[in-house]
Amino acid sequence: MKTRIYGIRNCDTMKKAFAWLEANGIAYEFHDYKKGGVPPGKLKEWAGKAGWEKLANTRGPTWRKIPEAGRENLTEARMLALLEEHTSAIRRPIVEAGAKLLVGFDEGKFAEAFRSAIR
């Protein structure tokens, strides 16, 4: 199973996810939003799998800096456009593990998703 993790390298939650993957012998590729942006079509793909509401880190400082008018009456299209523009507001990490998609770091969900790959 090929694993790809998306986020921002210096984020504390990302560091926890990296540490967990490494401690459990899970090889992964990393895509940094700060350096490469969000790959075209990924937000729409993730929204289809996890729900667009789960993709935003609404508790983070980037979200709070977005004018309130921009955060009101959100639809999927408006949310995805906001996240495309403000990549730091995307919840981290987003992990593609084969057909599975993990949004955010939860040790139990990681253990379940990678059960067959943990050494």
Distance from C-alpha of 42 to C-alpha of 2, rounded to nearest angstrom = 16
Distance from C-alpha of 84 to C-alpha of 89, rounded to nearest angstrom = 9
**CA angle, corner 92, sides to 64 and 90, nearest 5?**
45
Which residues are annotated as catalytic?
A: 11
Distance from C-alpha of 29 to C-alpha of 42, rounded to nearest angstrom = 15
* Closest of 25, 8, 30 to residue 95, by C-alpha: 30
